[in-house]
């Protein structure tokens, strides 16, 4: 068999394996989206699946801002940032978010995935040690692989284990990387303890706050602020613009020296076309709405409390989460898929999350709430969960 045929055969075998295990995933086409209302396969559903936590993705002011910037700048940025693609709306957004979160500098990436690859592979090298939570997002793990540094993964939120891994690293430069809010569990990292550990051991702490930014903390600044921390405690932070801001892209925040180094050495920054400037303008508009309307976060928190009270009454197994990510633990992948389908029949879109996204035997329904939901919609989900529950 030729090498090309061997690759195709192997890919087909892996695919068949996924299928046989009942774990094949497919992208469903959404035919229409109006806030939390989706149409999929001709069926109208209320979505409990999006990361649009504040309901800003279709906010008129955000959309208008994108339209106006597209009129002025066109659609594409036409080049990489270092070759003429870095436009005023990009620079403006970097300045705004850095100032708001109290960092010297910020650097825009086209996605959060690329930002994490860029940070870790841009700063770490062979001989260094990257210490990470076992449940960290895939792109933090992939960043360490790309960097060629040693990767040590500690059990979820186990700060003592992280300390032992740092101690075992000897004199090697060490980076601690953690999600601020864990994307499939909804719980928070023990940021105060990790910040103290990093300070004590001289490690660099990097927090991926994809799900905390815009949602947590007294002003929506994120999970560090929720824990009473700030830029001094978290020297390097990544925030995404595609979740609470409803836009797309990401920013890395840190001291000027670190960010300047990323401009040179983060290949996912250097060697890619800058994001459309209109998207950066939209993110600035979304940030303005977020800061002006704290009532969105208050409503969201009230919905989280309402959902948790209701699901507890129905004796579903909630996970330890105070964030808008409210997974229901199911266990077996088949059962999670069956429940997801039963909810779909009742008009609720709630995807089942299965291995390999989560560990074997820990399949769940990942429910996300948004400020765009009404109390009645949350009650509707609870009623559907009651009717759909397995016998």
Ligand X SMILES: *Cc1c(COP(=O)(O)O)cnc(C)c1O
Our answer to whether residue 134 is catalytic in this structure is no
Q: Are strands 174-179 and 129-133 parallel, antiparallel or unpaired?
A: parallel
Q: Please choose, from the candidates 371, 329, 373, 316, the residue with its C-alpha nearest in 3D space to the C-alpha of residue 348.
A: 373
Answer whether 214's CB lies under 8 Å from 225's CB: no
Query: Minimum distance between the CB of residue 329 and ligand X, rounded to whole angstroms?
Result: 19
Angstrom distance (rounded) from CA 375 to CA 309: 13
User: What sign does the CA torsion over 309, 314, 315, 321 have?
Assistant: negative
Number of residues binding to ligand X, judged by CB under 6 A: 14
Stretch that binds ligand X, among 29-37, 63-71, 108-116, 117-125 (CB under 6 A): 108-116
Residue 391 CB, nearest approach to ligand X (Å): 34
Query: In terms of CB distance, is 87 or 137 closer to ligand X?
Result: 137
Tokens standing for residue 335: 């059962």
Is 334:21 a contact under the CB 8 Å cutoff?
no
Candidate list 214, 222, 242, 246; residue touching ligand X; CB under 6 A? 242
Query: Is the Cβ–Cβ distance between 112 and 250 less than 8 Å?
Result: yes
Strand partners, 69: none
Q: Which of residues 111-170 bind ligand X (CB under 6 A)?
A: 111-113, 116, 137, 139
183, 321, 340, 377: residue in contact with ligand X (rule CB under 6 A): 183
Closest approach, Cβ 356 to ligand X, in A, equals 16
Q: Which of 50, 105, 183, 284 is catalytic?
A: 183
- Is 59 among the residues known to form the active site? no
CB of 113 to ligand X, least distance (A): 4
Nearest residue to 239 (alpha-carbon basis) of 215, 260, 256: 215
CA distances from 375 to 38, 306, 390 (A): 18, 8, 25
Q: 65-104 mask for ligand X (x: CB under 6 A)?
A: ----------------------------------------
CA 27 to chain centre: 18
Answer yes or no: 156 catalytic.
no
Instruction: Considering only the stretches 11-19, 109-117, 220-228, 334-342, report the one whose residues sit in contact with ligand X under the rule CB under 6 A.
Output: 109-117
Q: Where are the alpha helices (DSSP H) in 175-266?
A: 191-201, 223-226, 256-265
Of these, 94, 208, 225, 233, which contacts ligand X (CB under 6 A)?
208
Shorter beta-carbon distance to ligand X: residue 94 or 179:
179
Angstrom distances, CA of residue 1 to CA of 7, 14, 101, 194: 10, 18, 57, 52
Give the shortest CB-153-to-ligand X separation in angstroms.
15
Q: Cβ distance 154 to 298 under 8 Å?
A: no
Q: Is residue 178 close enough to count as binding ligand X by CB under 6 A? A: no
Nearer to ligand X (CB atom), residue 356 or residue 390: 356
Site string for ligand X, 254-283 (x = CB under 6 A): ------------------------------
Q: Which residue is nearest to ligand X (CB)?
A: 112
Q: Is-contact 186 367, C-beta < 8 A?
A: no
Phi, psi dihedral angles at 225 (to 5 degrees): -65, -35
Specify the residue, 97 or 169, whose C-beta has the smaller distance to ligand X.
97
Closer of 50 and 183 to ligand X (Cβ): 183
Pick one of 128, 179, 187, 233: the residue that binds ligand X (CB under 6 A). 179
Q: Name the catalytic one among 81, 86, 137, 211.
A: 211
Q: Cα dist. 211→187, 216, 322, 324, 376 in Å?
A: 10, 9, 12, 9, 25
| Catalytic sites, residue numbers | 183, 211, 243
Q: Which residues bind ligand X (CB under 6 A)?
A: 111-113, 116, 137, 139, 179, 183, 208, 210-211, 240, 242, 250
């Amino acid at each position: 068999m030729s090498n090309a045929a061997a690759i195709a055969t192997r890919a087909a075998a892996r695919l068949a394996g996924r299928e046989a295990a009942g774990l094949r995933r497919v992208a469903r086409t959404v035919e229409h989206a109006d806030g939390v209302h989706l149409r999929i396969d001709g069926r109208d559903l209320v979505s409990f699946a999006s990361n649009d936590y504040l309901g800003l993705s279709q906010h008129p002011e955000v959309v208008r801002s994108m339209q106006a910037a597209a009129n002025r700048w066109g659609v594409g940025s036409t080049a990489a940032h270092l070759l003429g693609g870095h436009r005023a709306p990009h620079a403006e957004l970097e300045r705004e978010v850095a100032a708001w979160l109290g960092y010297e500098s910020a650097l825009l990436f086209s996605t959060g995935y690329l930002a994490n690859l860029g940070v870790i592979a841009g700063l770490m090298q062979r001989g260094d040690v990257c210490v990470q939570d076992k449940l960290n997002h895939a792109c933090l793990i992939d960043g360490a692989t790309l960097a060629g540094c040693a990767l040590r993964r500690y059990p979820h939120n186990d700060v003592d284990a992280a300390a032992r891994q740092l101690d075992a690293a000897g004199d090697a430069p060490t980076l601690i990387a953690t999600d601020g809010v864990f994307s499939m569990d909804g719980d928070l990292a023990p940021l105060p303890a990790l910040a103290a550990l990093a300070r004590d051991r001289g490690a660099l702490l990097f927090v991926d706050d994809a799900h905390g930014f815009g949602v947590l903390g007294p002003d929506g600044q994120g999970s560090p602020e929720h824990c009473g921390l700030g830029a001094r405690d978290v020297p390097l932070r990544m925030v995404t613009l595609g979740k609470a801001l409803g836009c797309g892209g990401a920013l890395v925040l840190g001291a000027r020296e670190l960010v300047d180094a990323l401009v040179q050495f983060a290949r996912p920054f250097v060697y890619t076309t800058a994001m459309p400037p209109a998207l950066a303008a939209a993110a600035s508009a979304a940030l303005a709405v977020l800061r002006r309307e704290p009532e969105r976060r208050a409503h969201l928190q009230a919905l989280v409390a309402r959902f948790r009270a209701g699901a507890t009454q129905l004796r579903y197994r909630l996970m330890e989460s105070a964030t808008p990510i409210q997974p229901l633990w199911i266990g077996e992948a088949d059962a999670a898929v069956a429940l997801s389908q039963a909810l779909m029949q009742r008009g609720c879109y709630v995807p089942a999350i299965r291995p390999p996204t989560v560990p074997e035997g820990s399949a769940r329904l990942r429910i996300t709430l948004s400020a765009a939901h009404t109390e009645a919609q949350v009650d509707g989900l609870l009623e559907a969960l009651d009717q759909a529950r397995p016998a």
